[in-house]
A = this chain, B = another copy of it.
């Protein structure tokens, strides 16, 4: 079997690109608490710029993972919330966190060993 990095139609690749994105997963996790306003997300997700937040939200919205609701008010108010599809993604994120917690020590130990070849040999 051969694999192609250009197999863009590969489902896994598409999902991987989305969750591999720095901000997407953070936004999804934030929205797990319930609907949030743009400014709330901006505040809670430390280090994100307006540009990246908007870009991330648009991407998630396009993929049908989150919904966007504009309230006709002054001042403007926009709420974002997880769709059913988005919530299903939480299971995957959960599995990822679980694996990470279970194995992170092994990984870090391996890194330490790799970076300090001389020690304890």
13 pairs, CB–CB < 8 Å, chain A vs chain B: A1-B33, A4-B47, A5-B46, A11-B100, A11-B104, A15-B104, A15-B107, A16-B96, A62-B114, A64-B110, A65-B107, A89-B99, A92-B95
Q: A25-B16, A62-B111, A107-B63 are in contact. Are A47 and B101 (CB under 8 A)?
A: no
What chain B residues lie within 8 Å of A17 (beta carbons)? 20
* Chain A residues with a Cβ under 8 A of chain B: 1-6, 11-12, 14-17, 19-23, 25-26, 29-30, 33, 44-48, 61-65, 85, 88-89, 91-93, 95-97, 99-101, 103-104, 106-107, 109-111, 113-115
What chain B residues lie within 8 Å of A96 (beta carbons)? 12, 15-16, 92
